[in-house]
A = this chain, B = another copy of it.
Amino acid sequence: VKLAHLGENTIIAALTRGLSRGPRLRVGIGDDCAVIGSPRDAVWGLLKADAVIEGIHFRRDTDLRRVGWKALCRAISDIAAMGGLPEHALVTVAVSPETRLEEMKALYAGLRSAARRFHVSIVGGETSRSPGPLFINIALTGSVERVCCTTRAGGRPGDILYVTGRLGGSLRGKHLSFIPRLAEARWLVTHFKVHAMIDISDGLAADLPRLAEASRCAFCLDESRVPRSAGSTTEEALTDGEDFELLFAVSPRHAKKLEHDWRRKFVRLPLTRIGVLLKKSAPEQTRLRTHGFDHFA
Contacts and interface: CB of A to CB of B under 8 A. Distances in A.
A131 B92 contact: no
Interface in A1-50: 1-4, 6, 8, 11-12, 14-16, 18-22, 24-25, 28-29, 31, 33-34, 36, 45, 47-50
A97 B22 contact: no
A94 interface: yes
B51 A94 contact: yes
A225 interface: no
Contacts of A15: 104-105, 108, 127
A100 B2 CA distance: 4
A102 B135 CA distance: 24
27 contacts: A1-B101, A2-B101, A3-B96, A3-B100, A3-B101, A6-B101, A14-B101, A15-B105, A15-B108, A19-B108, A22-B121, A25-B121, A25-B123, A28-B124, A29-B124, A34-B88, A34-B124, A47-B123, A49-B49, A49-B139, A51-B92, A56-B128, A92-B137, A94-B135, A129-B296, A131-B132, A137-B137
Q: Which 7 A-B pairs have the closest CB atoms?
A: A22-B121, A139-B139, A4-B97, A55-B131, A49-B90, A34-B123, A137-B137
A96 B3 CA distance: 8
A43 to B, nearest CB: 13
A101 B18 CA distance: 17
A125 B109 CA distance: 26
Interface centre among A122, A125, A132 (most CB of B within 10 A): A125
A56 to B, nearest CB: 5
Contacts of A263: none
Contacts of A36: 87-88, 123, 141
A90 B12 CA distance: 13
Interface centre among A24, A33, A34, A50 (most CB of B within 10 A): A34
Given A47-B124, A101-B11, A139-B47, A131 B53 contact: yes
Contacts of A121: 20-22, 25, 28
Nearest to A56: B129
A98 interface: yes
Interface string A122-150: 11111111111101010101000000000
A97 B3 contact: yes
Nearest to A36: B88
